[in-house]
Amino acid sequence: MDMPSPVLIMGDRYLSQNNVNAAKKKYAQYKWVVLSAKSNSLDEIRSVAGQGDFLSSKKIILIKDIPNKKAVRVFLLDLVKMSSPKLKFIIWDSEGTIKVDPKKRKFNKTWTDWINEFKKNSNHKIVNNGTNFSEKEDGDCIKFIQTRFAKGKKKISANNATMFAEIVGRKRGMLESEINKLLLTCPQEVTEEFILENTYSSSKEAILYKFGNVLDTCSYCQAVMTMQQFLDVGINENVMADIIVRKARWQLAAASYWRQGMSWSEVIRAMMQMGKYPSSIWHDKGMTPTEKRKATEGLKELDDRIQYITKICGVKDWQVNAEKKAKRAEVVPMEFMAKLTTDCLRNKMVAPVVNKYKGNELRNHLEVRCIKTYLFVLKKLKEIRYGENPKQDLQEMIAAMTNKTL
């Protein structure tokens, strides 16, 4: 199918970038040339568009970074008239210059007139990905979320869609991105529990890296300052609290492994395998391909996974609740995060008192400290979700996490 031209892409940047990526795949037979209406001069853009190569191959000119200048608007309207079977144009408002008046909910006269002129090209196409949902557009936002889940053959109630929007925000691109992630693992009916357990972890990875790393320094002042910075830009207290709980859980896992006699390097490897069995067997370099196949063969149903946990991993029968469905366990996203966690315990808590305890006393004290800390922050997480002073609760959670006393 021949590509339409000219094409105007505007609205949410994430969705627009997806449009561009999809077009590059669909029309891979074309030669793609990307230019900037800010970085490249108008003469340069016209020159590139007018240049033909020796083989006269098909070419797509993608022009982004559109400034709000009359000369550029006039130039682009004139340029796209050069469209032909071998020369196509995509105008991408990558910087969001073409904005909607929030009061009138439509483009101002300047851009309305320009778009109308753009439409006079017989083979044109306009892709409007919309702007962020305003507070007055709650209904549209909820409908957007429900429609996107429905495309993935999943259902979400209006109440849960509202909660989802409160967690993720009102940016169309962010909503689309989060929904695409959840569609991979969500149940047929997206529940409140699933949203609370999974949306945070997928939407806050960047915060997790930054805030989690600060917690590993055991600096109360620095951690509180970082917390306040995130709160100031609109990060929900629940997100911050969930990060602290996750970090405390990793510390507890690391301390538990160390108490069992593992070296710190072994602890890191063990943490990276959390939540990955039985597939973790497949990455065991000490096993032959045949051994790996036999170890993981048929481990699909709940009963099979329980057999794997008990017979292969050595977990006692009484430690497994067979009545509950198996869920994904905690997973450390990147190895460096596991290393930072162990370094915090090793250098900030263990090293200063290494000569104070004998035998396994130090290992036991570290595990007890991590258990108490985890239980404390878990309690505070509940208070933040239902309490009246979330900021103070966060500060108390940070104080517990940065306390190096064993």
Q: Which domains does the chain have, with CATH numbers?
A: 7-128 (3.40.50.300), 135-203 (1.10.8.60), 206-275+332-401 (1.20.272.10), 287-327 (no CATH)
pLDDT at 79 (0 to 100): 95
Supply the pTM of this predicted model.
0.47
What distance in Å separates the CA atoms of residue 257 and residue 263, rounded to the nearest whole number?
9
Residues of the chain whose pLDDT is less than 70?
A: 1, 52-56, 102-105, 196-197, 200-209, 275-330, 333-334
Q: Identify how many contiguous H helices and E strands the chain contains and give both numbers.
A: 17, 9
pLDDT at 166 (0 to 100): 72
**CB-based contact 338:272 (threshold 8 Å):** yes
Residue with tokens 């481990």: 299
pLDDT at 325 (0 to 100): 46
SS3 262: coil
What distance in Å separates the CA atoms of residue 382 and residue 393, rounded to the nearest whole number?
10
For the chain, the straight-line distance linking the first and the last C-alpha, in angstroms and rounded, comes to 69
pLDDT at 164 (0 to 100): 84
Residue with tokens 């400290």: 369
